[in-house]
Amino acid sequence: MTVPKNVDLIILGAGPAGLTAGLYGARAGLKTVVLEPKSPGGQMLLTDDIYNYPGHPDGITGQHLANLFLEQAQKYNCEVLKRAGSTTLQQESDRFIVTAGDRVVQSEIAIVATGCSPKRLGARGEKKFSGAGISYCAVCDGNFFEGLDVAVVGGGDSALEEAAYLSRLCNHVYIIHRRDRFRASDACQCLIRGCNNVSVIWDSVVEKFEGDDLLENIRLASVNGSEKRDLKANGAFIYVGQIPNTSFLSDAVATDPDGWILTNERLETSVPGLFAAGDVRKKEVKQVATAVGDGSQAAITAEKYLMMKRCNAYPGEVA
């Protein structure tokens, strides 16, 4: 059996929340490890340009911002284990033991910053054509559809931002939205108003995705079911919400019915010594700026918890 490596602070996830927590933890003198199953950056890697993160008046690419976050955390000796494998988190007496692939790390405090993943639409054919026409990331896959017709499903900020991005690569972009108006911000709606190869199909849902080996056709139905139509498209990009990356957590960690972690304002979870930061927790605004705020808050609270615990004086434990 692998002997666990002892550290002061374990952080799960190297998105903006996890890398910020790593920076703060390491700068506070804690031996800090961030475990990430993929490449560091989280959802920042799924978007082209970010225009609303302060300090970058002309915008910055998600990839560039991710590199800067990583560089800054590592500069202060935060250890970032990339492509670390899938994670399990167990608690044994007063320690958290995290296994990621063949690595085992243990600490008295841990921060869950595992973010969220795109929600599946649930339409027929979605699984079959995932990676064969259907994608959840325009920045990752948009180039495959250069000069072709594609659809974007959704009506929020991400859907419109990515439709505007695809309009620069594709012949035509159809936005399929189940309502008669967008819930996206005015700023994002403005992005597509200027695109003459983007059109909106209102009040419609996807019934099924069709084709032989690759996606060729999207069968649409009006929301009241009265009309059906076929939309010829080679690609479909789906932006219909997110699900939290919390399936690896035990039932001891309180979540809402959809799996988002519940915290107090100090970002403590229901398990003493375990904290949560960023999109993985139940909160209203999910942005890079709020994830960064969470990362710093969680690391500061966690560090105070550890110091008090080591002095045997954490308020929660005082009679």
**Which CB atom, from 43 or from 297, has the smaller least distance to ligand FAD?**
43
Q: Which residue of 25, 37, 133, 244 would you call a contact of ligand FAD, by CB under 6 A? A: 37
Among 6, 38, 94, 127, binds ligand FAD (CB under 6 A): 38
**Spatial separation of the C-alpha atoms in residues 173 and 135, rounded to whole Å:** 14
By CB under 6 A, tell whether 173 contacts ligand FAD: no
Q: Tell which one of 15, 142, 154, 235 touches ligand FAD (CB under 6 A).
A: 15
And the tokens for 154?
């959704």
Closer residue to ligand FAD, CB minimum distance, 289 or 313:
289
In angstroms, what is the minimal distance from the CB of 43 to ligand FAD?
Answer: 3
**Alpha helix stretches (DSSP H) within 30-156:** 62-75, 126-129, 138-141
List, edge to edge, every strand of the sheet that includes 204-211. Answer: 204-211, 215-222, 228-232
Does 162 contact ligand FAD by CB under 6 A?
A: yes
311 is catalytic: no
Nearest of 305, 260, 251, 297 to residue 109 by alpha carbon: 305
C-alpha angle 102/107/108, rounded to 5°? Answer: 155
Nearer to ligand FAD, 217 or 287 (CB): 287
Contact map string, positions 239 to 268, toward ligand FAD, x by CB under 6 A: ------x--x--------------------
Distance CA 118, CA 135 (A): 10
Count of beta carbons in the 10 Å neighbourhood of residue 318: 8
Total residues interacting with ligand FAD, rule: CB under 6 A? 37
Could you tell me the smallest distance in angstroms from the CB atom of residue 248 to ligand FAD? 5
Kindly identify the residues of this chain, within the stretch 48-67, that bind ligand FAD according to CB under 6 A: 50, 52-53
- Nearest CA to 289 among 37, 40, 54? 54
Query: Which range of residues in 114-122, 171-179, 267-275, 302-310 is near ligand FAD by CB under 6 A?
Result: 114-122
For residues 86 and 38, what is the distance between their CA atoms, to the nearest angstrom?
9
Q: Assess whether 188 carries a catalytic annotation.
A: no
H/E stretch holding 21 reads helix 16-27
288 binds ligand FAD (CB under 6 A): yes
CA–CA dist 181, 190 (Å, integer): 14
Cβ pair 244, 116 in contact under 8 A: yes
Give the CA-trace dihedral at 201, 206, 208, 211, to 10 degrees. Answer: 40
CB of 164 to ligand FAD, least distance (A): 11
Residues whose CB is less than 8 angstroms from the CB of residue 302 and which lie 6 or more positions away in sequence, other chains included: 9, 21, 25, 109, 111, 273, 275
Q: Considering beta carbons, is residue 190 or 289 the nearer one to ligand FAD?
A: 289
C-alpha to C-alpha distance for 273 and 90, rounded to whole angstroms: 12
**Active-site residue, 137 included:** yes
Stretch touching ligand FAD by CB under 6 A, among 11-19, 127-135, 205-213, 216-224: 11-19
Interface with ligand FAD includes 47 (CB under 6 A)? Answer: yes
C-beta separation of 166 from 172 below 8 A: no
Examine residue 160 and tell whether it contacts ligand FAD (CB under 6 A): no
Determine which one of 49, 137, 149, 203 is catalytic. 137
Of the residues 49, 141, 149, 203, only one is catalytic, namely 141
Pick one of 28, 33, 43, 271: the residue that binds ligand FAD (CB under 6 A). Answer: 43
List residues near ligand FAD by CB under 6 A. Answer: 12-18, 35-38, 42-44, 46-47, 50, 52-53, 87, 113-116, 158, 161-162, 245, 248, 278-280, 286-289, 291
Catalytic residues: 137, 140-141
